[in-house]
Amino acid sequence: MSTPKKAPRILSLPAKVYLVLYNVIQFLGWSFIQYKMIDHFTNKGLKVTGLWEQVEIPLLIFQSAAVFEIVHSATGIIPSNVGITFAQVFSRVFLLWPILYKVTETRDQFGFPLLLAAWTITEILRYLYYTLNLLSTVPAIVQWCRYSFFIILYPIGITGELISCYCALPHYSTTQDFSTLLPNKWNFTFSFYYYIILVMLAYIPVFPQLYGHMFLQRKKILGSKKHD
Amino acid sequence: IGILSTSGGKQLATLTVDPNSTLKELKTQVHRLKSHLYPDRQEFRQEPRGKGLDENKTVAALGLKDQSKLYLKDLGPQIAWKTVFLTEYAGPLFVYAWIYTRPWLFYGEDATSQPMSQVAHIAVICWVFHYGKRILETLFVHRFSHATMPVRNLFRNCAYYWIFAAYVAYHINHPLYTAPCQIQSYIALGFWTVCELGNFSIHWLLRNLRPPGSKERKIPRPTKDPLTLLFNLVSCPNYTYEVGGWIAFTAMTQCIPAGLFAFAGFYQMAIWAIGKHRAYKKDFKDYPRGRKAIIPFVL
């Protein structure tokens, strides 16, 4: 998610402690979600129904907590670009609340486990990497995984996300939740249904850029044999 | 003189030049060697990432000697400013006018039979007049300092203008559009008219400030036209009037989408105004001190 550090960053001790704690907690949280997911499929077979109930609470908590990362990048304690961090957190939170949480039909469809698998593996790796990085002890294998798994996880994840968005459309079309229609005094309209479509279309230009960015990172970090 | 590419530092050409020849003439020479690099697409620099050099400067004036190196940046396919503006402005004009007819594509089959408020009729006239005026100004009034711009910008700008036009037009021409009270609309219309006239007055003043064919820059000052008095308060009263016009249009139609468009325009024009204001202050030691960039006394 973040860009590689250009120069060694000098973090104050409290900031460092805070970040290590944050990343460790997220690592544990996502590992727990992953465990629940595996547990569900081991016991129930390939059924999607019931998966949401197993992971709902930790998923809502730990994914929503990612909002803190926007603050982290804005305050500069992590080297990421605020805009990119915002976009990535926003897309997750968008899937989580108005789609998965609000529209119950999205929890029984195939896109949900797809995105969940992608999210859990990615986040476990990412938070592990950040923690070890803060402690300056990243084993080569972890670094390799972090910069290689995305190659299949990104496409799997966005497939799941797009399918889930598509599944949520009928609900918004019928209920007009979060939408404002005419007539009104200010002649303003907002259709959440069309907004979802707009977000789905936005994947077309945005995904190649993010994917390409990760490949560049990969080349830069794995390409040279140095460890950061 | 060696000509190197700004990307990769590759040697593109070696030119033999007269010390008194201008960079412009060098560009013609490069164009003869590389047919895809027409002069408007070329920018010379002394460092790969340095500032672009004025093409009217001579080789000697820049201190270039035998075996000196110049970097050449390919600015990408270019398009004439005039073409850009005409496309950018014709789009919103026709898009709004089309949506005014309530096509079934946006409103369904029954829309045309439903009544339309007076304000919606006035709004289309204002809108068409505004963009018609812009097109005429592009053709007959403005003097451009650069001949061209990158083609890439054309798509981005057109998307902005055309989509926003559709967005605003959709709401105002909608059968369920709610007009504000008439007094509000008429007062706003009056204000809009003053702003359009003001905007034109400034464009006219700026045109006359610069003799034809020159790229000379002078400090703009108020003339006999009272609408140009705004120059006493801001560097870019044309933008001030333009924003004022869109605020008036928004008040006249009481339409948030129009307000969003006004705000977006304000944001962009404020950036341009601040840039121009700084350039004026840098170029003219005696630049009037009471002036702000775009909002009197404020910004």
| Residue B172 pLDDT greater than 90, yes or no | yes
Query: CB distance from B117 to chain A under 8 Å?
Result: no
Distance from CA of A154 to the nearest CA of B (A): 28
The pTM of the full predicted model, rounded to 2 decimals, is: 0.77
Query: CB distance from B11 to chain A under 8 Å?
Result: no
Domain that holds residue A118: 13-226
**Mean pLDDT to the nearest integer, B91-113:** 93
Please indicate, yes or no, if residue A8 is contained in any of the structural domains: no
Please indicate, yes or no, if residue A48 is contained in any of the structural domains: yes
Q: Write down the H helix ranges in chain A.
A: 13-44, 51-64, 67-75, 82-94, 111-134, 140-146, 150-175, 192-223
Report pLDDT for A3: 47
Query: CB distance from B167 to chain A under 8 Å?
Result: no
- Chain B contacts of A188, Cβ < 8 Å? 171, 255-257
A147 classed as catalytic: no
Number of domains comprising chain A: 1
Amino acid at A62: F
Which residue in chain B is spatially nearest to A184 when comparing CA positions?
B178
Please indicate, yes or no, if residue A186 is contained in any of the structural domains: yes
Please indicate, yes or no, if residue A107 is contained in any of the structural domains: yes
Please indicate, yes or no, if residue A37 is contained in any of the structural domains: yes
| Residue B5 pLDDT greater than 80, yes or no | no
Q: What is the mean pLDDT of chain B?
A: 87
| Residue B35 pLDDT greater than 90, yes or no | no
Determine the angle formed by the axes of helices B256-283 and B151-172, rounding to 10 degrees: 140
| Residue A102 pLDDT greater than 80, yes or no | yes
Please indicate, yes or no, if residue A6 is contained in any of the structural domains: no
pLDDT band at B6 (very low <50, low <70, confident <90, very high): low
Q: What is the mean pLDDT of chain A?
A: 89
Report the C-alpha gap between B158 and A50 in whole angstroms: 48
DSSP symbols for B8-63: T--EEEE----TT-BHHHHHHHHHHHSTT--GGGEEEESSTTSPPPPTTSBTTTTT
Q: Which of A65-79, B68-82, B99-113 has the lowest mean pLDDT?
A: B68-82
Report pLDDT for A225: 53
| Residue B169 pLDDT greater than 80, yes or no | yes
- The residue among A228 and A206 whose pLDDT is bigger is A206
The CB-side HSE value for B115 (13 A sphere, CA atoms) comes to: 5
Please indicate, yes or no, if residue A215 is contained in any of the structural domains: yes
| Residue B82 pLDDT greater than 80, yes or no | no
Report pLDDT for B233: 93
- Chain B contacts of A187, Cβ < 8 Å? 171-172, 174, 177-178, 253-257
CA angle B181, B185, B190 (to 5 degrees): 150
| Residue B156 pLDDT greater than 90, yes or no | no
Mutate to test the interface with A, among B176, B249, B261 (most CBs of A within 10 A): B176
Please indicate, yes or no, if residue A109 is contained in any of the structural domains: yes
> Do B257 and A187 lie within an 8 Å CB cutoff?
yes
pLDDT band at B145 (very low <50, low <70, confident <90, very high): low
**Mean pLDDT to the nearest integer, A36-47:** 90
| Residue B94 pLDDT greater than 80, yes or no | yes
A154 classed as catalytic: yes
